Amino acid sequence: MKKIITLIMSILIISILTGCGITGKGSRSWIENEVSDIEKVYPTENLEDLFEKFPNGFSITQTRLFTDKGNRYNIALEIKGDKDTRKIEGKVKKVLIESEPYKEIVEKESKVEYIEDKGLILEKSELTAELLPRNYFLFQKLKLNRDILKKLEVKDKSFSFETYRYSIKYLFTNKEIDDYLGLDKGKVSLDIRGHYSERDKTYFHSVVITEDRKELYFGERIVESQEEKNGK
């Protein structure tokens, strides 16, 4: 009897693990299905077209961590698309990151606005070279969809049953990424992150790119505003 019970339990465990590993939550196919709507944004050449995709507005954040002369910096850009004014504007700042104890010091900052046919424009134009290495977002040039992703080598993937957050990391070589981040045909880690919900299908994806040799960390996130959906 014990052998039968043990056999049944073993079959159940194998079935669960197989389901999770091949087609269930956390599997490559499941995560790639969840991120398949990334093509809704990647690419979007004209930022004003995002209002057609996200009528309630949207927010875009970028993080670019790098080391310069032994110091760690973050170029942080936050911008919002206002559904009422149809303006796309925000701020960008250069932050010195200190450790022991951890501290963030804003060294330079400027308002930034997107203008069609001109791209991202700083209010303090003299800081453009330092705060805005590119006057456009990566998603304006980078094409991502299910067909492209399924051809890539997966480096790692994860799914949390506690938080319902998922992540899938690919090895990727891409001209648009090279041009945007100043790389030379480097193979980078392309990490797509999101949050699973059966009810709320609001667009929410982060793309994180890392390159070990240059100690590079770059993150870009586009989030659909939810004001009207929540009745606020």
Q: What is the pLDDT of residues 169-200, one digit of tens each?
A: 999 999 999 999 998 877 899 999 998 887 77
Separation between Cα atoms, residue 192 and residue 17, nearest integer Å? 23
**Which pLDDT score, from 0 to 100, does residue 212 have?**
74
Beta pairing partners, 182: none
Mean pLDDT of 156-176: 94
The larger pLDDT score, comparing residue 230 to residue 195, is at 195
Tell me what the pLDDT averaged over the chain comes to: 88
Q: pLDDT tens across 143-154, in order?
A: 999 999 999 999
Separation between Cα atoms, residue 132 and residue 213, nearest integer Å? 22
**Which pLDDT score, from 0 to 100, does residue 49 have?**
97
Beta pairing partners, 44: none
Residue 60 has pLDDT above 50, yes or no: yes
The structural domains of the chain, ordered by start, are 30-224 (2.50.20.40)
End-to-end Cα spacing for the chain? 60
* Residue among 111, 110, 120, 138 at smallest CA distance from 206: 138
* Residue among 226, 225, 223, 206 at smallest CA distance from 60: 223
